[in-house]
């Protein structure tokens, strides 16, 4: 089995660097075009399941990248709940919270690293029981956390796995050691 992860296309807040957790912000025109450019990367893959975050930026990316595909909404795929930091850039947050990192510190009135780790672990357990190739359309920081947890790393290490908008990554298992989870491909965009 392989788990394919797509981060949604560009939004206005992705451009400005504002933390976009549960705010339901649409794709920009460029974000829609980015999503369409994913089609050739996905055409030859037979997905057993296609899941999307319920937020419109992820759903729209899925609709454009896989026209006509049967899409299932999964609330586990939403972005990190940034709580009080929703809509604020990291540069502005560190002015009042010196050295802050979402992956270490979480967000006041939002999700903590342990909460998002538990959410990612629940999803991984469910995905591994499915078999076959699965596509997830989700968000940047949740996708980073999911990938870190896939290979057994703590949430803090997710900081090392940034995702570009409308990128494709693949989680799988080692060819030679099928019980070892691996990151097979990372942050692929159609322009590469």
Out of 10, 32, 34, 79, pick the active-site residue.
79
Reply yes or no on whether 8 is catalytic: yes
The pLDDT tens digits for 121-164 are 999 999 999 989 999 999 999 999 999 999 999 999 999 999 99
**CA neighbor of 12 nearest in space, from 52, 57, 55:** 57
pTM (predicted TM-score): 0.96
What is the rounded distance in angstroms from the CA atom of residue 36 to the CA atom of residue 164?
A: 15
Among candidate residues 8, 19, 32, 86, the one labeled active-site is 8
Digit-coded pLDDT (tens) for 25-59: 999 999 999 999 999 999 999 999 999 999 999 99
Residues 6+ apart with CB under 8 A from 129: none
Domains of the chain: 3-133+140-187 (3.40.50.1240)
Contact, 52 vs 59, CB < 8 A?
yes
Residue with tokens 């298992």: 173
**76 carries an active-site annotation:** no
Tokens read off for 178:
């099928």
């Amino acid at each position: 089995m392989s788990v394919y992860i797509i981060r949604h296309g560009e939004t206005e807040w992705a451009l400005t660097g504002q933390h976009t957790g549960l705010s339901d912000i649409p794709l920009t025109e460029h974000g829609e075009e980015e999503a369409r450019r994913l089609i050739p990367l996905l055409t030859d893959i037979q997905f057993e399941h296609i899941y999307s975050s319920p937020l419109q930026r992820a759903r729209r990316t899925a609709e454009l990248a896989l026209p006509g595909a049967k899409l299932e909404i999964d609330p586990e795929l939403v972005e990190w709940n940034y709580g009080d930091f929703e809509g604020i850039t990291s540069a502005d947050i560190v002015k009042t919270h010196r050295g802050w990192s979402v992956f270490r510190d979480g967000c006041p009135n939002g999700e903590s690293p342990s909460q998002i780790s538990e959410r990612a672990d629940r999803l991984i357990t469910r995905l591994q029981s499915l078999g076959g190739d699965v596509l997830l359309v989700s968000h940047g920081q949740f996708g980073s956390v999911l990938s870190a947890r896939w290979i057994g790393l703590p949430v803090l290490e997710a900081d090392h796995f940034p995702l570009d908008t409308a990128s494709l990554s693949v989680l799988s298992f080692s060819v030679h050691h099928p019980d070892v989870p691996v990151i097979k491909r990372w942050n692929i965009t159609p322009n590469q």
